């Protein structure tokens, strides 16, 4: 019953916090990019948008960081990346890296 106590304790802890994270938070955040980058990061071929599915997390995070800092020139991504926290960008990168 130790296990049950532990699970219940985790749940209680999670629900006590104002920001108990949704288990699908990464999926939900990544979906905000899909309008341009395709459902689950699979962009329409020939549409001129980057596919993100299956890219390595390190590469995705570096790109996002470079957009955010302004190191990588962009027409729009420098403005969009600033709207997400680094933690959110990390969850987004995790999600897309895991897509096949």
Partner 1 sequence: MMLMKRRDFLKAAAAAGAMASLYGCAGGNKAGGHVVVVGGGFGGATVAKYLRMWSEGSVQVTLIERNPAFVSCPISNLVIAGTKSMEDITVSYDNLKSKWGVRVLQDDVLAVDTAKRSVKLAKGGEMSYDRIVLSPGIDFMFDQIPGLNNAAAQEKIMHAWKAGPQTVTLRKQLEAMKDGGTFAIAIPKAPYRCPPGPYERACVVADYFKKNKPKSKVVILDANEDVQSKKGLFVKAWNDLYKDTIEYRPNSEVKDIEVASNTAILEFDKFKADVLNVIPPHRAGNIAAQSGIKLINNRWVDVDWLTMESTSTPGVHVIGDAIFPAPTMPKSGHMANQHGKLTAAAIINLLAGQAPNPTPVVMNTCYSFVDAKNAIHVASIHQYDAATKLVQPVKGAGGVSAARNELEGKAAMGWAKNIWADMLA
- 98 near 55, Cβ under 8 Å? no
Please, what is the minimum distance in Å from the beta carbon of residue 18 to partner 1? 6
| Whole-angstrom distance, CA of residue 41 vs CA of residue 96 | 6
| Whole-angstrom distance, CA of residue 31 vs CA of residue 49 | 15
Please, what is the minimum distance in Å from the beta carbon of residue 97 to partner 1? 19
Please, what is the minimum distance in Å from the beta carbon of residue 31 to partner 1? 5
| Whole-angstrom distance, CA of residue 17 vs CA of residue 64 | 29
Binding residues for partner 1 (CB under 8 A): 1, 3-4, 7-8, 10-12, 14-15, 18-25, 27-29, 31-32, 34-39, 43-44, 46-49, 75-76, 79-84, 88
């Amino acid at each position: 019953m130790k296990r049950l106590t532990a699970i219940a304790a985790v749940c209680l802890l999670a629900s006590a916090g104002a920001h108990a994270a949704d288990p699908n938070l990464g999926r939900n955040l990544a979906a905000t990019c899909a309008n341009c980058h395709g459902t689950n990061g699979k962009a329409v071929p020939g549409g001129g948008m980057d596919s993100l599915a299956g890219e390595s997390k390190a590469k995705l995070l570096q790109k996002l960081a470079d957009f955010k800092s302004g190191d990588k020139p962009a027409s729009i991504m420098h403005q969009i990346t600033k709207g997400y926290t680094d933690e959110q960008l990390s969850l987004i990168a995790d999600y897309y890296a895991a897509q096949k």
